[in-house]
Amino acid sequence: MSATRHAFARPRYTRVAPANFTVANVSHALGTALLCAIQAYRTRETTSVENYGLHFTTWSWTVLCIWASAALAGMLSTRKAFDTVVAVAYFFALGNVWQVYVVFSAIVLANGDALLRFMDGNVTFGQLWAGEKVTHALPVLFMLCYSVAHWDRLREAVLRWRDRTRKHPLTWAALCAYWLLSPVALIGIYSMSHDPWEVYRSTLPFGVLAVIATCACLVASGIPLLAFLMSKRCTDTDARDLTK
């Protein structure tokens, strides 16, 4: 009897990754294609590397497009690949789009006609408004939609990284510092290689812009990170399993 029951028992399957062609993954693929198309259109008249990197928004869009493509590959690949993309690029891209949006908003508020002077009157106000939303607000919206759609997977990835580095607190501290502040390093590199006050015609002091950018990154990356860490911890099996 026991042998018969064993023969007809339901087989035990190992846990596998979710289906690749989910609504969230397909939407992300379409969004990534749209971002890359917009970036290609924005830089269609670029004639040199120096001209390409003149505006920090282009730097941020480049980071966003690279991250979105890597994230798509990570979602369609193994869990280890997804975790690596989260560790290397998720918070970096998230902080970048927010700091661009917040810093540019601060420049506009401090210089009421900054946008009009920047475009030298070559476009109408409607075109200017629409272009500004696509350039600065769309990346923020994309990152918010991605974070909501993949919240559980992002949370599990962060918790697995925390458990993997549990015996190495300095490594975990360095990883958190990278997640929170790496976008500030990028805008610092831009400021050393370009003159933001000449490019954007801003009157805000460097110290004020630095504080605004740092706060934007800390808030944008810190809120989801804190939410992830306050969630349930992943199991020891998840922490050890780096291959699925």
Secondary structure class of 160 (helix, strand, coil):
helix
Query: What is the band of 126 on the pLDDT scale with cuts at 50, 70, 90?
Result: confident
Instruction: Please give the residue that has the higher pLDDT: either 183 or 197.
Output: 183
Task: Take residue 209 and report the two structure tokens written for it.
Answer: 């812009």
CA-wise closest residue to 200 among 139, 144, 135: 135
Backbone angles phi, psi at 35, to 5 degrees: -60, -45
- Give the residue with greater pLDDT, 4 vs 207: 207
Query: Among the listed ranges 19-28, 144-153, 187-196, which one has the minimum average pLDDT value?
Result: 19-28
Q: Is the dihedral of CA 10, 13, 17, 21 positive or negative?
A: negative
- pLDDT digit string (tens) for 187-205? 888 888 887 777 777 777 8
How do the domains of the chain map onto residue ranges? 22-240
pLDDT tier at 33, thresholds 50, 70, 90: very high
Of the given ranges (78-87, 91-100, 121-130), which has the lowest mean pLDDT? 121-130
Tens of pLDDT, residues 165-177 = 988 999 999 999 9
pLDDT of residue 25 exceeding 70: yes
- Asked whether 59 and 53 are in contact (CB, 8 A), the reply is yes
